[in-house]
Every structure is written in C-alpha cells, then in structure tokens.
Amino acid sequence: MSESKKLFIKTYGCQMNVYDSERMAEALGGQGYVETQSADDADMILLNTCHIREKAAEKVYSELGRFKGLKAEKPDLKIGVAGCVAQAEGEEIMRRQPLVDLVVGPQSYHRLPEMEAKTRTGAKALDTDFPEEDKFEKLKNRPKAKRGPTAFLTVQEGCDKFCAFCVVPYTRGAEVSRPADRIIREAQDLVDRGVREITLLGQNVNAYHGAGPNGDITLASLIWELNKVDGLERIRFTTSHPNDMADDLIEAHGTCDKLMPYLHLPVQSGSDRILKRMNRSHTAESYLRLIERIRAARPDIVMSGDFIVGFPEETEEDFQATMDLVEQVKYGYAYSFKYSTRPGTPAAERAQVDPDAADDRLQRLQALITRHQREIQDSMVGRTVRVLFEKTGRLEGQMVGKSEYLHSVHVKARGIEVGDLREVRITDSGANSLAGELLSFGD
Ligand code: SAM
Ligand code: SF4
C-alpha cells in the first residue's frame, strides 16, 4: 500500500468554515491524504479563509509568504487557498503569490480531488464557480471513523439579504437549502459515529426551506424530523435572521425536547435609523417584540447576538440606542465588531465614523455585554443543568462539557466519559465557565 500523504488545513472565520474544512479533508482522504496538525510535515497545505472583515486578504498573503521556505525545501508541496478570500480574490491570489497551486471557492469543494490531481501534473488549478450541482451530495463520503460528541452540519448556504456592510451574498452566493432527506441521512451517520449534539449551520439558517417529501419544509419541520433520530440528544442552529424567525420555530423552542434553550439572533444595532441604512428591514422595536415572544415560548432561553459599532454615519445617539437595546435584552453571549469597510458593499462608499470614537463605543458596549454575560452565568449557581461532556480538563480527574445553555461546565468526578450526558448541580461561577458536582450516574 502506498504511504499516505499529509494534509494541513488552517481554518479561519465562522463555524461554516470549520464544517467545510472537515468536508475538504474527507474529499481529499479519497486521494490518500490524512490530516496532520503541522504545516512542516504536510504534502498539501490548505488555508480556508474568511473575508468578513478587512485585512483578511492581507493576512492570507502574509501567511502564504511564511510557506516560502517550506516550498523551497519541498518542491512537491502543494499550497491551496479556499474559502471566501479565494472566492473574492480568485486568480489575483496566484498572481500575487506564485507559490499557490490551487484556489477554490466555497461552492466548488467537491471538485477538490480533480483539482489536486491537476496540481500533481505541475499545473495550477482555479475554481471559483457557483456550479449547479449539489456540492454536499458529491462530498458525502464522510469516513466512518468515530468522532467527538458534537458536530456541525450545514443545511443552508448563501444569503439574499444584502445587508449594506456584508460580503456574504457576494462570496457565498444566493441562498440555497439542502434537501431534508440528505440532512437526516448525514445526521444519522454522525450519530452512528458517536455524535450526540448537532448544530445546524447556515448564514441564514432560519430561512431554511429545503425539499421535503411533500414540498419545501421549514427549519422547524427539519428540527422535528431530527428530533426523531434515536441517539441524537441535542439540536442547535445558527445563525438566524430576525425576519426569518417563523411562528413554528418559536413554538418549537417551547415544545421540542431536543432543541436547546439558546438562540443566536443578531440585531447589529439598536437604532432604527442605522438599521434602515444597514438594509436590515427590522426595527429595534420589532426585534424586542420578537424576543418577548421567544421568551414566552421558552422562558429560560439564553439569547446571543451580533453587533456592529461605528457603522457609517452612526452618531453617539444611535450608539446609545444600541446600549439601551442591550440593556433590555440582556444577552448571555454576544459578538461585537467595529465596522470594517468591505469594498464593493454599499456602506463602503459612505461617511466613515472616526476610528477613535468607534473604538470607544466598542469598549463601552463590550463592557456592558460582559456584565450581563457574567450575571447570567452567575445566576446558574445552585441550579441543576444537563452537561454533555466533551473533553478532559486541565486538572487531574476533571471533565469539561457544555450545559444546555452553552455554558462550559467543569466537573471533578470519577467515571465520566467523553460523550456522557449527566445532571450536574452548579456550585461555582468563574471568569468564563461554571463548576459543578455530578448528580446522576447514568444517562
Ligand atoms: N447572517 C447573519 C445575520 O444576518 O445576522 C450574520 C452572518 S455574518 C457572517 C456574521 C457577523 O459578522 C454579522 O452578524 C456582523 O455582525 C459581522 N459583520 C459582517 N460584516 C461586517 C463588517 N463589514 N464589519 C464588521 N462586522 C461585520
Ligand atoms: Fe450578511 Fe447576515 Fe446580512 Fe446576509 S443577513 S447580508 S449574511 S449580515
């Protein structure tokens, strides 16, 4: 048997890239590649890139520059760029960095095996098309190896919303949903290999409308189908858009036992003027009413969100409206970013906010979010949660897992295995995680 080749993948950006990297590794597994954790002993290096904020492309070029020495030592080493920078920059990457052999956009990963074979002949391979064929179907050969208790599963890709700041509709293309039967098959396969929690992924996951047995089905219907999969214990989904939060999905949060009480629902700003300029087509008020309805369905749900501060033309008053909204919602988690100009998007042409003012706003927002985050985490002390254990901790005999609310929980006890789901009483709240004691011995 020929010796296997080694593949090193470096992943930047969102969870969808993490999922895509796994699938690329599987696709190249068919070409005899096994993954390595070090670029130094790789036969192929793939950078799976993100283009959501500025300087991403520059970071990729400087990372590529670092591989010059390696390539000189190992002329057979193949270097590829995948992901949204590959989609946005295309051929420019090979022009600026001749050591790159392969450039592949997110919709063409199923073509990687042919592309890799092409590079072995000494030719360069470039594919940034948006082909009609179903890349997921062609990528379906996940190896049957056992895996950890949690997994991502992409159900929807692309976006038609065109928020004024965002590159996703350009780099990931139009919204496409995968057929339900294929998702359920993939989920079953993951469960057979040890997975107990699946996070459904999509740039606008709640806009999911994949084909079901009798026409298109909603994300809530898909979740109900997955709820029937034996051995699957937990379902999550991300990222959702407020306008696609349908009634059946809100209701599922109250009635579907495997759907976890955590929801990532980005709002971006609390100012209606800015939301309009962002082309978000919701208001702060409609978002707050939506959260009321979600909390009525599932009172203990922990909310999470995304914010952009310093969006063009944002005034101190607009920013205060964001602070007010955060104060009302009280997020358990939130991701806040300073606006980053993306060439080609409408907001790039508008009057930019002074960078020092934007920095100052970001700090104030993050301080408020951190305070709420800590209050919500501290409120878990004394409560009983169910923890899915994912790995061993740093201390002797310690195991770490996640509660249904996505808090990290550390437990010191004998007899817990990775993949166990146990009841834990929370005894302490630290900087970024909780500690607790085991209440149940079986699951
Ligand atoms: N589809 C999701 C939504 O509409 O809320 C968000 C997906 S986007 C990939 C992830 C986050 O990146 C956004 O919610 C936004 O906060 C942030 N983001 C996108 N473009 C940005 C930009 N130009 N500058 C700063 N943050 C940005
Ligand atoms: Fe980007 Fe999300 Fe807006 Fe789509 S809905 S354009 S992915 S921020």
pLDDT at 141 over 70: no
- The percent helix, strand, coil of the chain (3-state, each to 5) is 40, 25, 40
pLDDT tier at 292 (50, 70, 90 boundaries)? very high
**Most confident region among 17-21, 52-56, 288-292 by mean pLDDT:** 288-292
Q: What is the pLDDT of residues 206-220, one digit of tens each?
A: 999 999 999 999 999
Ligand 2 mean position, distance from CA 286 (Å): 18
Helix segments in 130-211, DSSP class H: 135-138, 168-171, 180-192
Q: Which letter, b or e, does each residue of 411-429 get, where b requires 16 or more Cβ atoms within 10 Å of its Cβ?
A: beeeebeebbbbebebeeb
Q: Does 174 contact ligand 2 (Cβ within 6 A)?
A: no
The SS3 call for residue 19 is: helix
Q: What is the mean pLDDT of the chain?
A: 93
Say if residues 205 and 220 touch (Cβ distance below 8 Å): no
Q: What is the pLDDT of residues 90-126, one digit of tens each?
A: 999 999 999 999 999 998 998 999 999 999 999 999 9
Measure Cα distances from 378 to 57, 203, 407, 433 in Å: 40, 31, 11, 10
Residue 279 CA: nearest ligand 2 atom is 3
pLDDT at 155 over 80: yes
Both tokens of 288, joined, read 């707050």
- DSSP secondary structure code for residue 12 in this structure: -
Q: Does 84 contact ligand 2 (Cβ within 6 A)?
A: no
Q: What is the pLDDT of residues 198-254, one digit of tens each?
A: 999 999 999 999 999 999 999 999 999 999 999 999 999 999 999 999 999 999 999
Q: Would you state the pLDDT for residue 2?
A: 55
Q: Does 23 contact ligand 1 (Cβ within 6 A)?
A: no
Q: Does 337 contact ligand 1 (Cβ within 6 A)?
A: yes
Q: Would you state the pLDDT for residue 138?
A: 67
**What mean pLDDT is predicted for residues 405-415?**
95
Q: Would you state the pLDDT for residue 59?
A: 87
Q: Would you state the pLDDT for residue 140?
A: 61
The C-alpha atoms of residue 349 and residue 102 are separated, in whole angstroms, by: 33
For the chain, percent of residues with pLDDT exceeding 70: 97
Residue with tokens 């930047």: 12
Ligand 1 mean position, distance from CA 436 (Å): 35
**What mean pLDDT is predicted for residues 150-163?**
95
pLDDT at 442 over 70: no
| Residue to probe by mutation, ligand 1, list 287, 337, 352, most atoms within 8 Å of CB | 337
Q: Is 90 left (phi over 0), alpha (psi -120 to 50) or beta?
A: left
Residue with tokens 């992901």: 83
| Residue to probe by mutation, ligand 1, list 12, 52, 167, 349, most atoms within 8 Å of CB | 52
Ligand 1 mean position, distance from CA 284 (Å): 17
Residue with tokens 């990222």: 239
Q: What is the pLDDT of residues 326-356, one digit of tens each?
A: 999 999 999 999 999 998 999 999 999 999 9
**Close Cβ partners of 156 (under 8 Å, ≥ 6 residues apart):** 175, 176, 177, 178, 201, 202, 203, 204, 205, 207, 208, 210
**Residue of the nearest CA to atom 5 in ligand 1?**
266
Widest CA span in the chain? 68
The C-alpha atoms of residue 311 and residue 144 are separated, in whole angstroms, by: 46
Q: Would you state the pLDDT for residue 443?
A: 47
Say if residues 380 and 426 touch (Cβ distance below 8 Å): yes
Q: Would you state the pLDDT for residue 41?
A: 92
Q: Would you state the pLDDT for residue 102?
A: 96
Q: What is the pLDDT of residues 26-43, one digit of tens each?
A: 889 888 999 999 999 999
pLDDT tier at 55 (50, 70, 90 boundaries)? confident
Q: Is 269 left (phi over 0), alpha (psi -120 to 50) or beta?
A: beta
Ligand 2 mean position, distance from CA 240 (Å): 10
Q: What is the pLDDT of residues 346-397, one digit of tens each?
A: 999 999 999 999 999 999 999 999 999 999 999 999 999 999 999 999 999 8
The C-alpha atoms of residue 355 and residue 209 are separated, in whole angstroms, by: 40
The C-alpha atoms of residue 155 and residue 314 are separated, in whole angstroms, by: 35
| Residue to probe by mutation, ligand 1, list 12, 306, 333, most atoms within 8 Å of CB | 306
The C-alpha atoms of residue 252 and residue 259 are separated, in whole angstroms, by: 8
**Close Cβ partners of 204 (under 8 Å, ≥ 6 residues apart):** 156, 159, 161, 175, 239, 240, 241, 244
Q: Would you state the pLDDT for residue 1?
A: 45
